[in-house]
Structure 1
Amino acid sequence: MIFHEYLTTPKTTEQLVNIAKEHGLNWNEDQVKLYSLLDPSIYETESGQWAVKVDGRRHTILEAIENALEKRPMTKIDPNIIEQLPRDMIVPHNEVIEVAVSTGRYESPRENIIRVKRK
């Protein structure tokens, strides 16, 4: 979802409403709160702001995808993305695809390909 990339730093509900509107979603504060409460990776801080839980494994996989796609519109998972991962990290292809697709920026037209999503 669009909020994840913005919630690496905590945001207020009002800020999330504005972000949603920038992305064409006409959500009010209650809808943003509901979405945030239902998303298991988003949590409310003690100060009442929203943030995303940092998942080290997911972050490492996403970084490998971004490095492999640096100047290309598409790349192979194996070897291009797998080579970017730490040697002691075993990641199946379907997990790489799941992480890539979950960002909303990438798609996987075939089992071993990740590409930048066409608009």
Structure 2
Amino acid sequence: MYERKTKPNLNCGLDLIAEVLYGKWKIRLLWFIHEGNKRPSELQRKIPDASRRVLNMQLNELEKHDLVARKIYPVVPPKVEYSLTGFGQSLIPVIAVLGEWGDKNQEKLKDLILKG
């Protein structure tokens, strides 16, 4: 298991957000769960570039930070579904605004990213 070598900087709201949302797929996972994609296999199909292991790690971190809840159904084979907590739901308007900004500035952002 990964153990942190340095303590996180928790003195600023932006640092706190970065600590909770840092991870390549976390924002997309939150958005897709919000849209109704709740099973790990559904999330994997929505984010095919991510490995199952990485998605599971990031889902576990989101659960640890009380942004998603995991429900395990007692069936064979086991069925798992994720849902947003109230705390996670409060992030959806913020993610929506970020997405709108990205859409609005799509061409400029693409140019900047491709320049390296």
TM-score normalised according to structure 2 size: 0.46
Structure with a larger share of its residues in helix: 2
